[in-house]
Structure 1
Amino acid sequence: MSGITYVRGDATAPQGKGVKIIAHVCNDLGGWGKGFVVAVSRRWVEPEKEYRRWHRERAKNDFGLGAAQFVQVERLVWVADLVGQRGMRTGRSSGVPVRYEAIDTALGRLAGKAEELGASVHMPRIGCGLAGGTWARVEPLVVQRLTAREIPVTVYDFGA
């Protein structure tokens, strides 16, 4: 048993009580505008603005593979940008952009923030959309980094 709760729904409308962190994987190029982040930006402007600032000022901060940024968007809701994707897939790309080691490192940072806030974590199947990863590789990282530390995790599959 993974300890992860799977539901159908929208990860930008997390279920449950208390503090919630919505986690997603982003790239290391500063690109924002496809995939799950479109839904995030429809709901809140702050995550995109802060991600772009974080990337723009990367010479003076920790932006890069494995990094995590946390943006509070409501009193009880945060968005976690987990940098777990090298570049973006293009028509000329060989291989996939997902970097499992970076996702693992960023999930460790997420765990620390979730413990600090007493928060549950909510996410789509991170790293498995535009990043090209597989849930069979990501799920064990989520289990090891989050549910093994008794952090409640809900994974949302969009749809009816």
Structure 2
Amino acid sequence: MARTDSAGLSTPPSTVEVERGRLRLFAKAIGETDPVYTDLGAAGRAGHRDLPVPPTFLFCLEMERPDPFVFLAEAGVDLNRVLHGEQSFTYHALCHAGDTLTFESRITDDYERKGGALRFLVRQTRVTREDEPIADLGSVIVVQQPEAGT
């Protein structure tokens, strides 16, 4: 397994406010029928202070950065050769509409397989509300490198 040199690259922190309207649109897009995600009254009756953030919505918020793919450019990756390999979420606390969340990402591993034809970038993103941990997001980006086979 060949290792490349982008492990440790990080992106500047990015802050995003969670908007109620976007939560409702996301719930509709994923087919969520539980009114706790779309109706403020239902959310309140369920003990929430506002609409709760559905689990995978944090990935959408992570893409709110001014240039969400800058880490790929810094790692020398051609975006046209990228495949989505894996995604994971570890939650520490609930977040809701009105919260301001900060996303901090870094590449934790960068390696090749198949004789260099495939490159894997492992990225971890820490999500916080002020200093409170909300979630840790993980992703693996697979980069096709056909020139390695020649």
Look at both structures and tell me which one has the larger radius of gyration over its CA atoms.
Answer: 2
Please, what TM-score do these two structures have when normalized by structure 2?
A: 0.26
Please, what TM-score do these two structures have when normalized by structure 1?
A: 0.25
Flag the structure with higher helix content: 1
- Larger relative contact order (C-alpha < 8 A, sep ≥ 6)? 1
Flag the structure with higher strand content: 2
